Amino acid sequence: MQTGAKLDLESIIDASPVSRFQIGIMALCALVAMLDGCDTQTIAFVAPAIIKSWHIAPSAFGPVFGAGLLGGLFGAIVFGVASDRFGRKPILLGTVLLFSVGSLLTPLCESLASLTAVRFVTGLGLGGALPCFVSLTSEYAPKRLRASLVTTMFCGFPLGAVIGGFVSAQLIPAFGWSSVFIVGGVLPLLIIPFLAAFAPESARFLELRRDHKAIARLLQRMHSQFEWSGEVPRTGHGTRVPVVNLFREGRALGTVLLWITLFMSLLLTYFLVNWVPVVAGHNGLSIASAVRAASMLNFGSIFGCIVLGRLADRFGTARVVGSGFALGAIAIGLIGQAGTSAVLLGTVAFMAGFFSIGAQICTVAMCAGFYDTFSRATGIGWSMGVGRLGAIVGPVLGGVLLSAGMSSSALFLVVGSTSVGAALTSLAIGRFVLRRRRSQSEGAPAYTSGTSTSHHVG
């Protein structure tokens, strides 16, 4: 390809090597993902200390957990839509500020009611940041590496949970539970100036705005040898109700299947994170062994999303994600058979995290790749919002089934079947949606000239 050639923006990003500038963007997004994952899990780490300090029953803490997840649901939907309308960067800055303030307000709470309200507000920021940093990473990643780059970035989320657990274990005995939230609130505040100074707006969002000067500056920072031709993606017109775009122009089936996949995958993820330690303790294992089993889930998911993400770029995201969920179902079923063996429990927990939770993280990349720039953050936001319903249902379902007298072995077989369901819907996306989209796009013009009015934002 000729140096200095004029190409559409997507072709420029796909044809160019990944620059240090792009790597820096993804590193900043991974850092935000780490803070998101850390703060999301922090309330679970400090709950025993708050319960003891306030002299309340553990069962009374349920609404606090639920409020954060519910806030995340609404945050992902509302701020995802806002990100498609106003840009990734301003909404990302606003949501990071929101969950930072929410964390700093938490130590001031003196009742379950105030704590529940603050956790809801914090959840709004945590859930709202997610579609922004996933979209930003996706839109600076070349198509050939998109799945692996997005999933590697999103590994920051479980890594943040692991780091948060370690830091909480050190801070709580020394400085009390409130110190965890002070640290968790100050760190995002320190990151915001770096995001404001170094994180750019999405190049593809600027393309839709036809901001020639901003795109020229970005290509210069990427050291691109190509020039933008001024062509804009032909993705159709928006509506006054952004979610409607997710069901237009052949996207309806893919959207529904993605929602089902995210619902089932987050149900099993949050079930495993919450109930593996409890069931391990109930089976007679020590608290240390139970905590190690939960840690193995998170470690497995970190390695899993990296390996599966690289395989997805080579063999197709839907196929790899579906296979991951299928293999993870076997590992989840074996958790219920571990009994009193701490070694076996840790091993199968790692495998469950590697395959099922690793596949769940890769589903975020599949979602980012399915939607175009105009509706990407809305699509990710709604998918993760529906998925958060599964995150709420998962822990509750475990309690209901155990209260009904179901054995732990049967319980994990039921959850394993959920992973099978996620595998089937993922494979269906590849078979009935992505394959059809590829065949229909052959020979169809994807871009139009810069003077065309075929597409607008908002």
Q: In this predicted model, what pLDDT tens digit does every residue of 136-158 receive, in sequence order?
A: 999 999 999 999 999 999 999 98
Q: Element (H or E) spanning 392, and its range?
A: helix 376-403
Q: In this structure, is residue 235 part of a structural domain? A: no
Please indicate, yes or no, whether residues 263 and 180 belong to a single structural domain of this protein: no
What is the share, in percent, of the chain residues with pLDDT greater than 90? Answer: 59
Please indicate, yes or no, whether residues 139 and 254 belong to a single structural domain of this protein: no
CA distance 227 to 210: 14
User: Residue 372 to residues 58, 79, 94, 382, 395: CA-CA distances in angstroms?
Assistant: 45, 17, 23, 14, 34
User: Residue 395 to residues 183, 193, 251, 270: CA-CA distances in angstroms?
Assistant: 27, 37, 31, 6
Q: Which amino acid is at 36?
A: D
| Encoded tokens for 365 | 């990349």
Give me the number of domains the chain comprises. 2
Please indicate, yes or no, whether residues 372 and 341 belong to a single structural domain of this protein: yes
Boundary-marking domain end, from 230, 260, 286: 230
Q: Say what the pLDDT of residue 60 is.
A: 77
Residue with token string 């997610």: 130
Boundary-marking domain end, from 202, 230, 258: 230
Q: Can you give the residue range of the structural domain that contains 319?
A: 241-448
Please indicate, yes or no, whether residues 268 and 218 belong to a single structural domain of this protein: no
312-353 per-position pLDDT tens digit: 999 999 999 999 999 999 999 999 998 888 899 999 999 999
Boundary-marking domain end, from 230, 259, 285: 230
Q: In this structure, is residue 262 part of a structural domain? A: yes
The bridge status of strand 232-233 relative to strand 6-7 is: unpaired
* Average pLDDT estimate for 127-144: 94
Contact 16, 238 (CB under 8 A): no
206 Cβ contact list (under 8 Å, min separation 6): 214, 215, 218
First to last CA, the chain: 35
Please indicate, yes or no, whether residues 328 and 211 belong to a single structural domain of this protein: no
Confidence of residue 251 (pLDDT cuts 50, 70, 90): very high
Residue 256: which CATH number? Answer: 1.20.1250.20
